[in-house]
Structure 1
Amino acid sequence: MSCDFQPPWWSRGGHLQTVWAPFFARSGKISFRREIWTTPDQDQVAVDWIDAPAAAAPVVILFHGLGSSSRGHYALALAVALQQRGWGGCFINFRGCGGIDNRLPRSYHAGDSAEIAWMLEKVAALLPDRQRYGVGVSLGGNALLKYLGEQGSSAEQVLSKAAGVCAPVDLVATAEFLQQGSIRFYNRYFLINMKKTARRFQQRHPEMADWTQVFLARNLYDFDEYFTAPVHGFAGAQVFWEKGSSAPLLRHIQVPTLLLHSEDDPIVPIASVRAAVLSPVMTACVTQHGGHVGFMTGPFPGHLDWLPNTLLDFFEGRNNP
């Protein structure tokens, strides 16, 4: 694999890569096979599969980012790349994502490594003889990395390799970063989408949270203070961010793992990534450009094949940097 990403002349800059890729870049059409899994606490999640032509083909397990799903631009691009290589894919939607509502008065969050654990164990039980690789993107990346750090060598039983893409490994630093200058646009974008999701919870679980405070939230701190933290058992946003960050655990990872970021990511501050101490089995790939899960290449309006091919090359052991 190569860590050298070069954007086309018309899409230089982290903001353009970040904003353009989800809406306009080309990834190709894909058809998933959907399953509904019952969680250990009797909730439900939607899981979308890419079936491989060969029964022994490797399978990639994808965990998506905040407000996304198995239909995210990076997910569709990965699905296309998997089909081209004859691999399988297991794209897991977190609770309340992927077009179905969950049953219980809880959601998903960046530090929910317990959720990652049972999902990976279920895939391992379903496909015990397949090579299994895990990919976490943004929020899903932090949750996957946290799981890997907590589990240490035990994670080798469920995954052969893993990758975290644009993961906010330091949630405190990321939340503070999003309050700065023009970057506040992303803070507002996430907040609008999270409030939309919260209104669905309000209709089904009116006692779940202090809804007045939730909908008055003006930033991520307020939302996590009045929704994410209390709903998931944390004593406030600051405690949630500190306990949910994967950075302190990266040194304990024993599964070979790619940590992929870009210098011009407008959401995750690269300084917080560089400050983390990595395990010897981790490979850092920091590109100069790419934005936040953008990585568009080619002529206008752009293609999204660089990221999935970089991930799959890493899993295959091709020219690791």
Structure 2
Amino acid sequence: METSELPAVFDGVKLAAVAAVLYVIVRCLNLKSPTAPPDLYFQDSGLSRFLLKSCPLLTKEYIPPLIWGKSGHIQTALYGKMGRVRSPHPYGHRKFITMSDGATSTFDLFEPLAEHCVGDDITMVICPGIANHSEKQYIRTFVDYAQKNGYRCAVLNHLGALPNIELTSPRMFTYGCTWEFGAMVNYIKKTYPLTQLVVVGFSLGGNIVCKYLGETQANQEKVLCCVSVCQGYSALRAQETFMQWDQCRRFYNFLMADNMKKIILSHRQALFGDHVKKPQSLEDTDLSRLYTATSLMQIDDNVMRKFHGYNSLKEYYEEESCMRYLHRIYVPLMLVNAADDPLVHESLLAIPKSLSEKRENVMFVLPLHGGHLGFFEGSVLFPEPLTWMDKLVVEYANAICQWERNKSQCSDTELVEADLE
């Protein structure tokens, strides 16, 4: 009797194991999460009503790939590992600018492949994410799509990020330094005096472009709008969350720190060599601390803040974060984050929400899914080459261009009527 019951017991154990595995899969892949249009935060105005009519993606469901697309971790991992699928190779020209401190800044310039929908000369000035550049697949995919929609694209290569470009001064890109981005924008304005600008920043690049626009009113001249995707708004607030293990942020912190260490060490001679005139606060002992660093905060404290002479990590994060500059931006501003972004803690999203409640020019877009710079679309398993993020940024830019065209036409009509009177 006991022997005959054993197979039934084993079958029950197998069934329980299968059920447990399925439960873990459902939980990890977040399969029960619904698809929905993004949450929108904005003030009711003529601009916001026009955007809702002109940008269908703002009111349509964002549908990620069925099997894995509702997991912010997988979206983030796929972005981090492969960037995009079947990424195109847009052809551009690399430009070099010598900065006042001897640093050599570079950016890549891509001409439009079609006429813009409003017929104007529009240039997208693009700032990539941390340690990224124009050769990254997600940047190539976005640039190709923007070119086909009539945009000239200028993409900043973060100082020290390109493996084949040597540093010519003891300085790398930092969290909020706008010098190189500003130099690129000034080059575009000088070279194409009739062009208008659409400013785009991804992740860390979002912080840089928002800070740049808010630093002085002159930086907003000829700017039609700005789009920031997946930034954290305040490094000072984010540093505490980056040391927490929920959503595996501490693990992501370690991975990004390891990547930063490799980049810094690849420029060891330019930054720490005996012949180099280093910043006074940067010492040889900082190099040894760099080897043992396991977080971005340790790297920032021991190396990055010293490039600009900040006395403390707190001062560095306060001064280099865009949060204190956002209220000075007067051009249309779209801030995009994903609710399941494992790098950006939900507490940081209070910053764009609060801003959108106070400023008519700001719209905050928060889809349920997308991870960090993922936003893949697809039916079941395989993602499409073009992401929801790529489409949204271009759609928003097109709408703003049309909005400005309509405003200018109305102004011209009013002038004609005034002359007739």
TM-score, with structure 1 as normaliser = 0.92
Q: Distance in 1 between matches of 2:193 and 2:100?
A: 20
What CA deviation, in whole Å up to 9, does each residue of 1:229-250 have, x standing for no partner? 1122111222111111111221
Which residue among 70, 78, 82 is the counterpart of 1:12?
A: 70
Greater Cα offset, 240-249 or 115-124: 115-124
2:118 maps to 1:60? no
The letter of the residue matching 2:288 is T
The structural deviation recorded for 1:74 is 2.4
> How far apart are residue 27 of structure 1 and its match?
4.9
1:86 aligns with 2:169: no
| Distance 1:14-1:79 versus aligned 2 partners, 3 A rule | same
| Aligned 8 A contact 1:148 1:255 in 2 | no
Q: Larger RCO: Structure 1 or Structure 2 (Cα < 8 Å, ≥ 6 residues apart)?
A: 1
Contact residue 228 and residue 237 of structure 1 kept, 8 A: no
Offset at residue 56 of structure 1 (A): 5.1
**Structure-1 separation of matches of 2:383 and 2:313:** 37
> Structure 2 residue aligned with 1:28, among 77, 84, 87?
87
Q: 1:214 to 1:96 in 2, by over 3 A?
A: same
SS at 2:303's partner residue? helix
Following TM superposition, by how much is the alpha carbon of 1:163 offset from its aligned partner in structure 2, in angstroms?
A: 0.7
CA–CA distance in 2 between the matches of 1:33 and 1:205? 28
User: AA paired with 1:268?
Assistant: V
CA distance in 2, matches of 1:64, 1:308: 13
2:102 pairs, out of 26, 31, 42, with: 42
Look up the match of 1:298.
378
Structure 1 residue corresponding to 2:326, chosen from 227, 232, 250:
250
| One-letter identity of the residue aligned with 2:251 | F
Q: CA RMSD in A?
A: 2.1
User: Percent identity at matched positions?
Assistant: 24
- Alignment-mate amino acid for residue 166 of structure 1: C
SS at match of 2:173: coil
**The one of 351, 365, 389 aligned to 1:307:** 389
Residue in 2 that maps onto 1:286: 366
Amino acid in the other structure paired with 1:200: S
2: CA distance between counterparts of 1:97 and 1:51?
23
> 1 CA distance for matches of 2:209 and 2:136?
18
Stretch deviating more after TM superposition (52-61 or 276-285): 52-61
Equivalent residue letter for 1:52: P
Map of 1:142 onto structure 2: 207
Distance 1:145 1:296 in 2: 25
CA distance in 1 between counterparts of 2:349 and 2:375 reads: 18
Q: How many residues align?
A: 319
Matched, 1:204 2:270: yes
Structure 1 position 201, deviation (Å): 2.7
Map 1:146-165 onto structure 2 (within 5 A).
Answer: 146-152=211-217, 154-165=218-229
CA distance in 2, matches of 1:33, 1:220: 32
Structure 1 distance, partners of 2:317, 2:267, is: 22
TM-score normalised over the length of structure 2: 0.71
